[in-house]
Amino acid sequence: MFIVLVIVLIVWFLSALVMVLSILFHSSKGTGLSDIIAGQVYSNISGTSIIEKNLDRITIVSAVVFLLAILALMIIYPQGTIAATG
């Protein structure tokens, strides 16, 4: 069981790291209302670049892997099974 825990924790950590980095690599968007409206119209006309689409896919996949790792940790350690130390 210890090996499974270590593997799940490594997957959890790496997916969190990839998710944070992929979010930071996204191009910045405007923050005002006019930027949101104008940016949406411009984005729909020109389309997104291949890099942005791949970055979106990487972000989504890493978020799903992160969620699955959290669920696996919840199964490995149900509520109340870890003794409090202190």
Could you tell me the pTM of the whole model? Answer: 0.70
Higher pLDDT, 39 or 76: 76
Look up residue 26 and give its DSSP letter: S
What pLDDT digit, counting tens, does each position of 47-83 carry? 557 878 888 899 999 999 999 999 999 988 877 666 5
Residue with tokens 């149900």: 78
Please report the pLDDT score of residue 19 as a whole number: 94
User: How many CB atoms are located within 10 Å of the residue 22 CB?
Assistant: 19
Please report the pLDDT score of residue 67 as a whole number: 97
CA 55 to CA 50: how far, in whole Å?
8
The model's confidence at residue 86, banded by pLDDT at 50, 70 and 90, is very low
What are φ and ψ of residue 85, in 5° steps? Answer: -110, 150
